Structure 1
């Protein structure tokens, strides 16, 4: 991987600018702190009529991604108990209004396994999951994550200063995922830029999938083309090209779009608390709880939607069939009924599972890879950049966005490495 020559940093900044591309879609124009409003709403009732952005008081564009049904009744859940129940009851609270069944219709780059339900979803997930279990994290670290992290740090370690959010955090998941596909960096950014052009994405992925079917390698596409599962009826299943294309696009959009923001949130939380950063530097076993606490404290995706399949009484509210229930996991992750002092960032608190990666049958498939990227990335920064701290002469990072939250620039200074 020839990262420094291949990575177009200006293009990466444009593609991953929270204040640009996300503005119209996911509330990128929201610059406030939504948690006081969410605390008030949760204290008033676990479930409210309306969407999360309306109830939060944001009056920006209403055409958010994930809210494509303006004519349906919308409700929002804010308590941990309500979100937990919705995640567990997949029969009443479906992940898609019209789940895709591969027996009657194929997945395409315009939808994904997120739209599947029931047996088809379990079968498809079982085919792709083996590469994403905790035991495979070292495979990702050894083959792609460590090399990507070191090459990125090489580009600024001698400078004594850097902007970590885009130049570091954003690039890690993009290059990790595309590295596992065998896609060049230029092609990776082409895919990111072409997410609304399915044919363009197919043109890039199709020859790679075909080549791996002919000659497998030690990479993710090879694993997917060889995956086979025998179901309870004795029927063998393998992934079609369309299903592999769909899954690849899901990884590129979800994996590269969320992990970098969550890493930036975690780094910001640590850099704003020098004593906590020093404790993590001193004892690296504290890095894992620091990452888990950041996931709970400020998840980058604080809302997911579910679709109500039948009339139901839910935490004191009548939800009609066909309505949309938005799960405000940001509020649920700070529910005082589950966590003491929930607004505090405390890496010493007892670990309890949060909803940062969703829940239920559709819990994030790549969460262990995401954790590995954050652990290796932050650990390498602490190893190689002595005196790492926020740049006192630059504007400090701020959290912005509503349905996708993340940090603005993260300017830092440190003791520079000697140039070789």
Structure 2
């Protein structure tokens, strides 16, 4: 019997949708009215908002019954993120940390976090990333995606661009060989690791073992790439080149350490940016006046990226745990209590953002919480912003870009890892 060949890109979309399903639970696709009501009534809420909607929560991924409160106001969430000594991050590793040998920067605290982050930081700083726009990010987008899509006049922006493009660009910056199968395998394995936490025991019985296999496959695939890079001896201006030259108090990283670090970075190397690009395009296409505003004035592209990330962030929630008896928002919090931070709610807090539901490019901005804040702010933030800006600028050049009426209207969903399942569009050829 003939074997059915699955398109690797279709497999990536399937893995991506599994994550969306897991983080949607029984929550409304549009949670913002719920946030508004809860924030006004009880902004420091006893209980876990994600668990209440059958969604895996980093406040208690392993369902141990850890006491949890949920914060919904900007000022409370900002205060927690700015105090990493008293509100610690180690619980973030409970969910899928085991699949990557607990090597997660987001789950490290104190000196360990600061030390490792300082060693890895340089290739990710804004000045280094901005150099890549014309040399790497834009060429990858235009030559491998836009030039192929433009004559078609139609696409699913999720499948055809938002999913493969940031992964392809980031993997090139890692210093990986340009191998389509390699890219798609690593990307699918990374998404499978992220998909591990599930509240349905029957689904978790599949996803957790699958994540362990995927995590090992990532390491086994990355290690020979690292070894071949070192053997070649050509230290380039990419992430592998940087890691091989890092001096840690007289020591350098081994190939095995570098492979473990790279695997950790792969977990966030594309899929979150995919969701942010897709969310951005749905919001702009739903607000054609704003789309035309930014099309007419491309200096607004960075503002459009930030404002769409504020209004509907991909990472809707993060968690911390009280290192001692604490107080937040006038409420006592006992040591060991987890706090779930609703970033999505904070981003529409009317105490901070005027007319918060509106997509407004000239909005006076506050510190954006969508990448986290404080010492744990996302290390890949500047790469994600650059990829989103380049993608938006290119899509604005597609004439009369609009939703494809032959398909259902895209729906952004999930209380965490928010995103649409597809973004079907048309443009004039």
Bigger mean CA offset, 176-185 vs 337-346: 176-185
More helix by share: 2
CA offset at residue 129 of structure 1? 0.8
Change beyond 3 A, Cα 1:109–1:372 = farther
DSSP-derived class of the 2:269 partner: helix
CA offset at residue 143 of structure 1? 4.1
Partner of 1:353: 367
In 2, Cα distance between the equivalents of 1:316 and 1:407?
Answer: 37
Of residues 229, 254, 260 in structure 2, which corresponds to 1:212?
229
The 5 Å alignment of 1:316-335 reads: 316-335=330-349
The 5 Å alignment of 1:258-269 reads: 258-269=272-283
Deviations along 1:301-328, one digit per CA (max 9) or x if unpaired, are 1100101111122222222211211111
In 2, Cα distance between the equivalents of 1:252 and 1:245?
Answer: 10
In 1, Cα distance between the equivalents of 2:57 and 2:180?
Answer: 29
In 2, Cα distance between the equivalents of 1:310 and 1:164?
Answer: 46
DSSP-derived class of the 1:305 partner: strand
The 5 Å alignment of 1:243-254 reads: 243-254=257-268
Contact kept, 8 Å, 1:132 with 1:366, in 2: the verdict is yes
Of residues 83, 94, 100 in structure 1, which corresponds to 2:88?
94
Contact kept, 8 Å, 1:72 with 1:323, in 2: the verdict is yes
Contact kept, 8 Å, 2:371 with 2:381, in 1: the verdict is yes
DSSP-derived class of the 1:156 partner: helix
Of residues 48, 51, 56 in structure 2, which corresponds to 1:51?
48
Contact kept, 8 Å, 2:100 with 2:263, in 1: the verdict is no
Change beyond 3 A, Cα 1:389–1:298 = same
Match status 1:174 vs 2:171: no
Bigger mean CA offset, 128-137 vs 149-158: 149-158
Contact kept, 8 Å, 1:28 with 1:404, in 2: the verdict is no
Partner of 1:135: 127
Count of residues in Structure 1 that have an aligned counterpart in Structure 2: 392
Contact kept, 8 Å, 1:224 with 1:244, in 2: the verdict is yes
Match status 1:115 vs 2:107: yes
Partner of 2:21: 23
Match status 1:193 vs 2:182: no
DSSP-derived class of the 2:408 partner: coil
Contact kept, 8 Å, 2:20 with 2:418, in 1: the verdict is no
In 1, Cα distance between the equivalents of 2:121 and 2:132?
Answer: 14
The 5 Å alignment of 1:213-362 reads: 213-214=230-231, 215=233, 216-229=235-248, 235-362=249-376
In 2, Cα distance between the equivalents of 1:48 and 1:80?
Answer: 14
Deviations along 1:172-218, one digit per CA (max 9) or x if unpaired, are 11111222231422112222333422321121111121223331234
Match status 1:408 vs 2:416: no
Please tell me the root mean square deviation across aligned C-alpha atoms, in Å: 2.3
Contact kept, 8 Å, 1:202 with 1:245, in 2: the verdict is yes
Deviations along 1:284-311, one digit per CA (max 9) or x if unpaired, are 0011111111111111111001011111
In 2, Cα distance between the equivalents of 1:189 and 1:31?
Answer: 31
Deviations along 1:237-281, one digit per CA (max 9) or x if unpaired, are 533444423332233221312111011111111111112111111
Match status 1:83 vs 2:97: no
Contact kept, 8 Å, 1:127 with 1:239, in 2: the verdict is no
Partner of 1:3: none
In 1, Cα distance between the equivalents of 2:19 and 2:44?
Answer: 31
CA offset at residue 97 of structure 1? 3.9
Change beyond 3 A, Cα 1:22–1:399 = closer
CA offset at residue 69 of structure 1? 4.3
Match status 1:162 vs 2:155: yes
CA offset at residue 142 of structure 1? 3.6
DSSP-derived class of the 2:332 partner: strand
Gaps of 5+ in 2: 1-6, 194-210
Scaled by the length of structure 1, what TM-score is found?
Answer: 0.87
Contact kept, 8 Å, 1:94 with 1:308, in 2: the verdict is yes
Gaps of 5+ in 1: 1-6, 101-106, 230-234
